[in-house]
Amino acid sequence: MQKETSITTKAKRKCVPHNTARQKGVFKKPGFFRAVAYSTDIFLEFLMGFRFISQFGKAVSFFGSAREVLPEQCYADCEELAARLSTRGFAVITGGSGGIMEAANRGANRVNGESVGVNIHIPHEQQNNRFLKHFRTFRYLFSRKTILSCASEVYIFFPGGFGTLDELFEMLTLVQIDLVEQIPIVLYGKAYWEPVLAFLQNSLAETYKTISPEDMDLFVVVDSVDEAEHYIASLNITQTRSCQLRL
């Protein structure tokens, strides 16, 4: 009991009233106002990000390499798929940069659809492409990732690097642990994705059992524009996701 009381008393001393905190100089400590400014900046970026993305209704997000190193057919397929989905009423949302992202925005732009970019300030690879009709550039990666995770009704992943895999595994994790509702996740290009899926199946699901067998059903793999379009059309998506905030 003695120990418990002393801990409780110590905790109470830390929860000092506003006036007492001012007298003790809490607000004069180095870095306090910097932390307040930083927190406010983050809050405003989230607020403006959700306001920006909520203006678009039904949407599809495209992910893939910003580098122009993939086979030409890959970019052509991405552009064609984005154009077809745009004519079906989807806004096309990308990271706003080059490569696969530019191809998707080009496709939407080609049919006069909504072409949207959610970009970020980094030293290389992330200049806005010229096919964006609407874009917003973020300072913080975590706020951008949150906005992208709430942006669309369908997520399509073309071949890419660490960033593409990061976005994919984040979406799979959010769905797996029920932090977002189950959404269609489409992996485009069997030659690229099959080795990744073999690792997930053989190592994670079967050998180490760190994921469940049913987790392999959280996505579909397609290998053509027709196949991707047919799958997405079969979902009969008419409403926007509930986590797409209306501010």
pLDDT in tens, 43-88: 999 999 999 999 999 999 999 999 999 999 999 999 999 999 999 9
110/4: higher pLDDT: 110
> pLDDT by residue (tens digit) across 196-230?
999 999 999 999 999 999 999 999 999 999 999 99
Q: Is the pLDDT of residue 242 over 70?
A: no
Contact 27, 16 (CB under 8 A): no
Within 13 A of 76's CA, how many CA atoms are on the CB side?
4
> pTM of the entire structure?
0.85
Q: Is the pLDDT of residue 2 over 60?
A: no
What CATH number does residue 156 fall under? 3.40.50.450
Tell me the sheet residues that pair with 154: 60
Question: Total structural domains in the chain?
Answer: 1
Query: What's the confidence (pLDDT) of residue 16?
Result: 43
Q: How confident is the model at residue 95 (pLDDT cuts 50, 70, 90)?
A: very high
The reply to whether 38 falls in a domain is: no
Greatest CA separation for the chain: 74
Average pLDDT, integer, range 121-128: 75
The reply to whether 28 falls in a domain is: no
Tokens, residue 105: 């925005």
Q: What is the mean pLDDT of the chain?
A: 88
The reply to whether 205 falls in a domain is: yes
Query: What's the confidence (pLDDT) of residue 63?
Result: 98
Query: What's the confidence (pLDDT) of residue 125?
Result: 54
Query: What's the confidence (pLDDT) of residue 29?
Result: 61
Residue 177 neighbours by CB distance under 10 Å: 8
The reply to whether 136 falls in a domain is: yes
By the 10 Å C-beta count (0-12 exposed, 13-18 middle, 19+ buried), 241 is classed as: middle
Average pLDDT, integer, range 178-195: 95
Q: Is the pLDDT of residue 239 over 60?
A: yes
Q: How confident is the model at residue 191 (pLDDT cuts 50, 70, 90)?
A: very high
Q: How confident is the model at residue 243 (pLDDT cuts 50, 70, 90)?
A: low
Q: How confident is the model at residue 30 (pLDDT cuts 50, 70, 90)?
A: low
The reply to whether 157 falls in a domain is: yes
Q: Is the pLDDT of residue 244 over 80?
A: no
Q: How confident is the model at residue 121 (pLDDT cuts 50, 70, 90)?
A: confident
Backbone angles phi, psi at 90, to 5 degrees: -90, 135
Query: What's the confidence (pLDDT) of residue 21?
Result: 46
* β pairing state of 154-157 and 185-188: parallel
What are the Cα distances from residue 152, in Å, to 15, 76, 123?
A: 42, 22, 27
The reply to whether 146 falls in a domain is: yes
Q: How confident is the model at residue 91 (pLDDT cuts 50, 70, 90)?
A: very high
The reply to whether 32 falls in a domain is: no
The reply to whether 185 falls in a domain is: yes
Can you give the residue range of the structural domain that contains 141?
43-234
